[in-house]
Structure 1
């Protein structure tokens, strides 16, 4: 009897990209650029909005090509504290009261 193999389909394991960049960031940059264009209703604002969106799309494509999950890694890294003190347990209380005990 042979071992059963189950194929892993590529569509279910692919990163969620839109136009080559992270889906949420591409749509957010498009929304901001569109809001700029439609709120000002001038030719200068149209040019600035299109240039802003194309520049953001280019940067987001480069970011997604480097690592498709870079946004998630950055957001997780921002939650880390800058310093983690050495402690034996999370329930230990470090403070001036303990220092007086040992003197």
Structure 2
């Protein structure tokens, strides 16, 4: 019986392949999207007030995204999948039935 456990093969799981893709501790795509929106605000208006407002908005949004990622790093993908579901599925549904 002891030989059965000795013949098992072990494979390493690299952390980079199993961890969520984060930037500044938040979801990478959302951080880049809010950064892009802040930069567009700054360069379209071209005033000091717009630059300060854009930086403040980006910092506040990144802080909120970090809190969201701390609760669940995959929350954006889970929510996107959740809103794609229908509110009700018929019990007699088939793949060929049209709704």
Q: TM-score range by the shorter chain?
A: 0.7 to 0.9
Cα gap change, 1:47 to 1:5, in 2 (>3 Å): same
Looking at secondary structure, tell me which structure has more helix per residue.
2
Residue 25 of structure 1: which of 26, 30, 33 is its match?
30
Partner Cα distance (1:83, 1:7) in 2 = 43
> Which structure would you say has the larger Rg?
1
Match of 1:70 in 2: 75
What does residue range 37-52 of structure 1 map to in structure 2 within 5 Å?
37-52=42-57
Q: Tell me the TM-score normalized by structure 2.
A: 0.84
Q: Structure 1: give runs of 5+ residues left out of the alignment.
A: 95-103
* Number of residue-to-residue matches in the alignment: 93
